Amino acid sequence: MKCVTVLKRLVVGAALLGLVSCGGGKDSGGGETAGGGSESGFARGKTLYLAGSQWGDPNTFNPLAESWQAAWPVNDKFNLMYETILSYNSLDGKFEPLLGTLVSRDNDKVVVDLNPNAKWSDGQPVTSADVKFVFELGRRFPGAATAFAIDFISGIKVETIDGGVERLSFMVDKTKRNNPLVILDHLQAIRIVPAHVFEKLLADNGNDLGAVQKLKIDKDPVISGPYNIEHYSNERIVIRRRGDYWGNEALYGGKLPAPEYIIHPIYKNNDHFAIALQKGDIDASQTFMPRIWLKKKDGVSTWYDDAPYFVPGAMPMLLINTTKAPLNDPQFRRAMAAAISYADIKELAVSGYAPDVQPGLIMNQGLEGKYFNAEDAKEFGVTCDPENAKKILAAAGYKSVFKSDGSLDYMTDKAGNKLPTMSITVPAGWSDWEAMVKIAEKGFRAAGMDIREGPVDASLYWPALPSGNFDLIMHKPAASVTPSLPWNRFESVMSSRNWVPVGGDNKMNENQGRYNSPKDKGYNPKVDELLKKIPTLEKEEDLAVAYRELNRIFMKDQPSIPLCYLPEQFYEFSSKAWTNWPTSANPYAPPLLPMVGASTKILWGLQPAK
Amino acid sequence: MLKQYPTFRFVLMRAGWYFLTFLVAVTINFFLPRLGKNNPVDIIMGKAATGLSNEDARKKEEKYLQEFGLAKVGKDGQLLRDAEGKPVKAGRLEQFGNYIKMCLMGDLGTSFQKYPKKVVDVIKEAVPWTIALQLPTILFGWIVGNVLGALAAYRRGVFDRVFFPLALILSSFPFFVFGMLLVYYFAVVLPWFPAMGGYANSIMPSFSTAFFSSVAYHYVLPFFSIFLILAGGQAIGMRSMGIYELGTDYIKYAKWLGLKEGKVLTYLFRNAMLPQITGLALSLGTMIGGALITEMIFSYPGLGMAMLTAIQNNDYPMIQGCTLIVTVSVLIANFTVDILIGFLDPRVKAGLQMGKGV
């Protein structure tokens, strides 16, 4: 016994040594600078805790890696280490200056002036060479993460204007996509990297981008943003304020961002975000927390004090495979849309975090609300009305056979043929989506449509989506609020630009439901015309007309069924350690964590709690 | 051959069998994840291709196929293509050959999902936490459970009547329910212990008392979530074994001879422990796989989560790497116990000496 206990102690000791060595090995970048002295750790009053943007181990901090591979804050469009040229304010739709300022935009070009004060952390200025490097990387390497940019931009013209300011003209590629709108998306999403650093890395690695992408770039990287990587492990990522960040002078009147450290803990369980926020262990999170009103007493706050608590921005929906009978029948699809209880979805699946959903693909809220037309929605759209669903089905010749206990047995089409049971593909374990699908299923079956929930592993969900290998599938296209909304959403659902039939290795990365086949005799060329035209329209009146027409077609054809409006990001915060978070009463920044786009300025607005 | 060295022969034969098992296991580990229809690049492309044109998406997909060694590459470093211009997929046998070659060189490859992280690095970072959580819990739970179980069997009376139902309840608790209850009561209702993590977020990992006390503090709830249930289960097993052994002739004989109680208890314990040792070996072997549920409930670092995401995403190199070390540790643990039992169990020893082998 004794011997075993001693042995146990030895083993624990050895294991702890192992923990230290694996945790400590990585902070060689700035080991001894650990904040407030490594003994006492990071003082709460100087440290901001953010969560929900990094799931799983941090793998690489390489800005040239794919966004899904890179770790926070190098992934997504976070502006803490590498910065974009512009930042987009999703509240007022304005472009705010960052590395550059928007000068003008027309159908030929988007013009920006680079900020002459912008500097890399090694003291070199941020120049047009850096911008060209990342935007045109796709011309040199087809596999570059930003290769999609060259489909839109034919070239970047540089001229030097007064005061040595570099004026960049992003030329619209008229032969390819001819879409200045998406160029604006890119300007607020593609982060600029230091060309002088990466050109050298490329040269050192035999001009092999793949080899450069394998580098982790996690030790004292050359960045332009206000925070740099300090330490990371599989449990958290720590970044530290840079005293010499160029933007403090140039953008914030000499002020420093309030938190000296930002720590992003990595949790493995959704409940931990809520627990940590309630305990004041984290300051803000972007995760779905059910029944948030119960957490208010513990200091958890949201944008609005009352329902819907969040600002809507995205539209989870049921995509329909329009190549399969009876789903190829617009009447059947409209009947489906009429059978779903959207009120139940709102209350039961998403805790009421959404305003009422409207027919069509345009929200009646936010920036796109100006394109929403209530009369059209009434005339062309269907709303929840189970009796109407039954009526539409009966008029189109569908018959439902119910069992003696009142549950649905099967359905027949016009010719009297029995229809197969259809299923709704949804990733198992995505609880809010599963709840939405369950409610939809209930409505479908009550109206006599033989459709069931089909939960699959996420590893089957992702391949099913582009291949069209589904009857109905849950999807959230255009998940973030960008300058190109709502065009982007229409494009994702209705475009036949790359239309290929289901089968073989065929994949579509938009319109996965294969709506509006160009080879069909029922092809409606108007849809693709409008999708091509809208990005080039400059007058609001023209845009309103075009969107109205497109939305009418959507409502008539119903290629997908939006289920509710959800926020772009669940923005929840606690004022226990930091105050002055933006809210609907104090909307100085959009409701996003203080690292996304125009919300990065929250870092300069926060105040330590007394 | 080797007849005059039965012990050595026994060890050698066992080793041979285990090596064979190892080869079969490694082969299964390789082919099993590849039996499904979907390949890992499809899963990645689902996330990476949104909004890309077909042409761009195809280029990206080919890049991944090449990087991950799932397509054949010609001498010029370009992908080999078939008549339709599609990349030629690498055959399974070819991949298997590569895998064996890399394994022998100690390289488990690069994870697809955690690209560009090496599988070896992922394992190296996670395994110390897994061992630190599991080894003491399993050993301690095993020892405490067995001692209490033996006592309950021998003493009976009030101790047993209170202890046995308690152990029964504990052992039949699912890990995750028990863990969540612990979090709820001891981290949320009574904020005595932290609810999650391996150490406080505000502390840098270092050789400092602050770090180690933080680790110890965060260790309490995960430890008890496994320990109590494990000890309960072990105690029940030991108690039944003990009661069975109490009724055997040799114990009756020993008592009849008037041996001291302590001596009788030693005999009893030694015999009743044999099946328990086998159980211990199994749990020690599988412990490397990680306590997935414990990791999730406490956001505790470890290999379990890495393995789960690898399997969910068909991350072949990661699955292979994890299953390889699980296989190796299970085999080593079993081998050790096999040998140990040979020495501990007089029946096995007797069998060997009579030349029957095992």
The string of pLDDT tens digits covering residues B37-72 is 767 888 888 777 766 777 788 888 888 888 887 888
Task: Decide: helix, strand or coil at residue A567.
Answer: strand
Note which residues in 75-94 of chain A have CB less than 8 A from chain B: none
Note which residues in 115-154 of chain B have CB less than 8 A from chain A: 115-117, 122, 124-129, 131-132, 135-136, 139-140, 143
Query: What token pair was written down for B195?
Result: 């609810």
Could you tell me where in chain A the CATH 3.40.190.10 domains are found? 1-75+225-311+568-610
Give which of B188, B299, B319 to mutate to test A binding, by max A Cβ within 10 Å: B299
Superfamily of domain A1-75+225-311+568-610: Periplasmic binding protein-like II (3.40.190.10)
Could you tell me where in chain A the CATH 3.10.105.10 domains are found? 321-561
Mean pLDDT, consecutive 10-residue segments, chain A of 610 residues?
A: 44 47 37 40 93 91 90 91 96 95 95 96 96 94 87 94 94 92 94 97 93 92 96 93 95 96 92 91 92 91 93 95 93 96 94 93 93 94 94 95 92 92 92 94 95 89 91 92 93 93 88 94 94 94 96 96 94 95 96 94 94
Alpha helices (runs of H) in A214-286, residue ranges in sequence order: 246-250, 271-279
Give the amino acid at A314. A
Within its chain, how far is the Cα of B176 from the centroid? 17
What pLDDT does A322 receive?
95
Give which of A42, A269, A470, A474 to mutate to test B binding, by max B Cβ within 10 Å: A269
> Between chains, do A234 and B187 touch, taking CB under 8 Å as contact?
no
Residue with tokens 């041979």: B16
Nearest by CB to B296, from A27, A66, A268: name it: A268
Query: What token pair was written down for A434?
Result: 């599963």
Strand locations in chain B, DSSP E? none
Contact between A332 and A558 under an 8 Å Cβ cutoff? The reply is no
The residue of chain A nearest to residue B307, with distances taken between CA atoms, is: A56
A267-277 per-residue burial string, b: 16 or more CB within 10 A, e: under 16: bbbebbbbbbb
What pLDDT does A374 receive?
94
Closest-CA distance of chain B to residue A516, Å: 17
Contact between A468 and A514 under an 8 Å Cβ cutoff? The reply is yes
Closest-CA distance of chain B to residue A145, Å: 9
What pLDDT does B290 receive?
67
> Between chains, do A492 and B206 touch, taking CB under 8 Å as contact?
no
Closest-CA distance of chain B to residue A468, Å: 12
CATH class of the domain defined by A86-187: alpha beta
| Angle between helix B6-31 and helix B316-344 axes, rounded to 10 deg | 160
CA dist., res. A312 & res. A486, Å (int): 13
Residue B204 with chain A: CB contacts under 8 Å: 27, 34, 38, 41-42, 231
> Between chains, do A39 and B38 touch, taking CB under 8 Å as contact?
no
Beta bridge partners of A232: A237
Let me know the angle formed at the C-alpha of A264 by A97 and A226, rounded to the nearest 5 degrees. Answer: 30
Could you please state the CATH topology (level 3) that the domain comprising A321-561 is classified under: Dipeptide-binding Protein; domain 3 (3.10.105)
What pLDDT does A484 receive?
93
ipTM of model: 0.85
pLDDT band at B354 (very low <50, low <70, confident <90, very high): low
The answer to whether A34 contacts chain B (CB < 8 Å) is: yes
Nearest by CB to B312, from A12, A23, A457: name it: A457
Beta bridge partners of A401: A410
Could you tell me where in chain A the CATH 3.90.76.10 domains are found? 86-187
Query: What token pair was written down for A446?
Result: 């009550």
Across A82-91, B17-26, B27-36, B317-326, the highest mean pLDDT is recorded for: A82-91
**Which residues, 6 or more positions from A498, have their beta carbon under 8 angstroms from its beta carbon?**
A508, A509, A510, A511, B53, B54
The residue of chain A nearest to residue B310, with distances taken between CA atoms, is: A459
> Between chains, do A459 and B136 touch, taking CB under 8 Å as contact?
no
Closest-CA distance of chain A to residue B299, Å: 5
Closest-CA distance of chain B to residue A384, Å: 30
pLDDT single digits (tens) B184-214: 999 988 889 998 889 988 888 888 888 999 9
Closest-CA distance of chain B to residue A234, Å: 7
The answer to whether A23 contacts chain B (CB < 8 Å) is: yes
pLDDT band at B3 (very low <50, low <70, confident <90, very high): low
The residue of chain A nearest to residue B196, with distances taken between CA atoms, is: A272
> Between chains, do B125 and A266 touch, taking CB under 8 Å as contact?
no
Nearest by CB to A59, from B116, B299, B313: name it: B116
Closest-CA distance of chain A to residue B206, Å: 6
Nearest by CB to B117, from A43, A59, A505: name it: A59
> Between chains, do A235 and B44 touch, taking CB under 8 Å as contact?
no
For the four alpha carbons of B208, B214, B220 and B226, in that order, the dihedral sign comes to: negative
Task: Decide: helix, strand or coil at residue A83.
Answer: strand
> Between chains, do A38 and B38 touch, taking CB under 8 Å as contact?
no
CA dist., res. A60 & res. A229, Å (int): 12
CA atoms within 13 A on the CB side of A24: 13
> Between chains, do B215 and A66 touch, taking CB under 8 Å as contact?
no
The reply to whether omega before A590 is within 30° of 0 (cis) is no
Contact between A174 and A154 under an 8 Å Cβ cutoff? The reply is yes
Nearest by CB to A151, from B53, B111, B200: name it: B53
CA dist., res. A250 & res. A137, Å (int): 29
* Helix/strand number for chain A, H first, E second: 18, 24
Residue A463 with chain B: CB contacts under 8 Å: 38, 42-43, 45-46
